Amino acid sequence: MTAAALIAAFDKEFGGNSELEAIQYLDTGFAPLNYAISGKYDGGLAYGRMYEIFGESGTGKTAIATELMTAAQRLGGAAGFVDWERTFNEELAQHGYGLKTDKPLWFYKRPATWEEGNTLGAKYCQWIRANKVIAETAPIVLTFDSIASAIPQSMAEKEFNEYSMNDTTALARVTSTTLKSMAMFAERFNAIFVYLNQMRLKPGVVYGDPRTTPGGKAMEFYATARLALGKEKVMQQVAGQKEFVGQKIGIQVVKTKLTKPFKETSMRMSFDEMGMAFFDKEFSLIEELVDAKKLTEPRKGFYDWKGTQYSKKQLAEKARAEGLGPELIAMLTS
């Protein structure tokens, strides 16, 4: 059989090979994080995939997710939040991050169970695509908060005094069956599913990573990338006393199917005059440039920018006021 005949026979039997579409990325708004997740500074989160963001309390998990939802809306897409934890602040998301909460491009639910939350999320994506509410190429970002707070249906149907040892592992069992389907729904509806989770430490671990997350091992298999967050207080001398001014949020990509894993970056979480937290992307970029030795330090704590010396804070303020972000990113990627 000739090569052409062999290919024709193959196509007749199997209908050819499935086509792989070019990957679209949702920009996280922070080029070093894009790089850590996808290996591209202009990349980010791939459409049609599932992600997990986990960490201690107060590490900015919901803040990062809210920025991703807002980014999707800015691209003409839709966003939603499945709130098992009952802690999402819609007003803060609107005024602090620019999230639009008008239906139908905003979907918010407080489901009673794990199964209900995932079902509602998948139905919303299906409804958006079926009714052509947004362009086919526009993203849908759904946040699920959090795996640790979700209650399986099998537990919801019981009274407290009816719980048994089987209920201890009920969430792990149900995630293993649910998440494989949710990964397929994310691809089918060209959506990005972001699951937030808490972090636990395994006792007595000497070798290996002591960090673990509630909900079993399923997310480790089905997530395209898993982001582990940590925090470090930032203190500053104010009127002769040390004062808390922000946090340095460390991000380690412990798994990614898009590039080499275990890349790390960090973002400065600061607070405005009203006490509202925000990620200072300009300051964070400057710290990345300093670490990469791409900004010279003529004297301790001051860095050269086009012939003038600035502290990190001063240079960040200048970059923010003058829109120097693209120049900083260009320096980082050169």
Indicate which CATH number applies to the domain containing 61. 3.40.50.300
Q: 210 and 296 share a domain?
A: no
Q: What is the total count of domains within the chain? A: 2
The H or E element containing residue 236 is strand 225-238
By the 8 A CB rule, do 78 and 134 touch? yes
Domain interval for residue 34: 20-228
Place of tokens 């709130």: 83
Q: 212 and 286 share a domain?
A: no
Please state, in angstroms and as integers, the Cα–Cα distance from residue 264 to each residue in 226, 229, 233, 252, 333, following that order.
Answer: 12, 10, 18, 4, 16
What residues contact 32, with CB distance under 8 A and at least 6 apart?
41, 265, 284, 285, 288, 332
How many CB atoms lie under 10 A from the CB of residue 127?
A: 14
What are the b/e assignments for 188-214, b being 16+ CB within 10 Å?
ebbbbbbbbbbbeeeeeeeeeeebebb
Helices (H) and strands (E) in the chain, counts: 12, 15
Q: 105 and 194 share a domain?
A: yes
Q: Which residues pair with 158 in a beta bridge?
A: none
Q: 152 and 291 share a domain?
A: no
203 part of a folded domain: yes
264 part of a folded domain: no
Instruction: For residues 152 and 215, give the distance between their C-alpha atoms in angstroms, rounded to a whole number.
Output: 10
Indicate the Cα dihedral angle 88, 101, 48, 115, nearest 10°: 50
Alpha helix ranges (H) inside the chain: 3-14, 31-38, 61-74, 90-97, 114-130, 153-156, 165-168, 170-188, 218-222, 281-291, 312-322, 325-333
Q: Which residue pairs, CB below 8 angstroms and at least 24 apart, start in 118-127? A: 118/82, 118/144, 118/178, 118/182, 120/82, 121/80, 121/82, 121/182, 121/193, 122/181, 122/182, 122/185, 122/189, 124/80, 125/185, 125/189, 125/191, 126/185, 126/189
What residues contact 49, with CB distance under 8 A and at least 6 apart?
183, 186, 187, 192, 193, 224, 225
Q: 303 and 199 share a domain?
A: no
pTM, to two decimals: 0.93
Instruction: For residues 197 and 201, give the distance between their C-alpha atoms in angstroms, rounded to a whole number.
Output: 13
171 part of a folded domain: yes
235 part of a folded domain: no
10 part of a folded domain: no
170 part of a folded domain: yes
Q: 221 and 290 share a domain?
A: no
pLDDT of residue 42: 95
Q: 188 and 332 share a domain?
A: no
What radius of gyration, in Å, describes the C-alpha atoms of the chain?
A: 23
Instruction: For residues 126 and 107, give the distance between their C-alpha atoms in angstroms, rounded to a whole number.
Output: 13
Q: Per-residue pLDDT for the chain (334 aa), expressed as one digit of tens each?
A: 799 999 999 999 999 999 888 899 999 999 999 999 999 999 999 999 999 999 999 999 999 999 999 999 999 999 999 999 999 999 999 999 999 999 999 999 999 999 999 999 999 999 999 999 999 999 999 999 999 999 999 888 888 877 777 778 999 999 999 999 999 999 999 999 999 999 888 777 777 778 889 999 999 999 999 999 999 998 887 777 888 888 999 999 999 999 999 999 999 998 877 777 889 999 999 999 999 999 999 889 899 999 999 999 999 999 999 999 999 999 998 8
Where is the domain boundary, 187, 204, 228?
Answer: 228
Q: Identify the CA nearest to 82 among candidates 63, 108, 116.
A: 108
Q: 30 and 124 share a domain?
A: yes
Q: 286 and 220 share a domain?
A: no
Please state, in angstroms and as integers, the Cα–Cα distance from residue 228 to each residue in 60, 69, 153, 156, 255, following that order.
Answer: 11, 19, 28, 29, 9
Q: 220 and 286 share a domain?
A: no
Place of tokens 């003058």: 322
Q: 216 and 105 share a domain?
A: yes
Where is the domain boundary, 164, 195, 228?
Answer: 228
pLDDT of residue 247: 94
Q: What count of Cα atoms within 13 Å lies in the side-chain half-sphere of residue 313? A: 6
Q: 73 and 161 share a domain?
A: yes
Instruction: For residues 68 and 79, give the distance between their C-alpha atoms in angstroms, rounded to a whole number.
Output: 9
197 part of a folded domain: yes
270 part of a folded domain: no
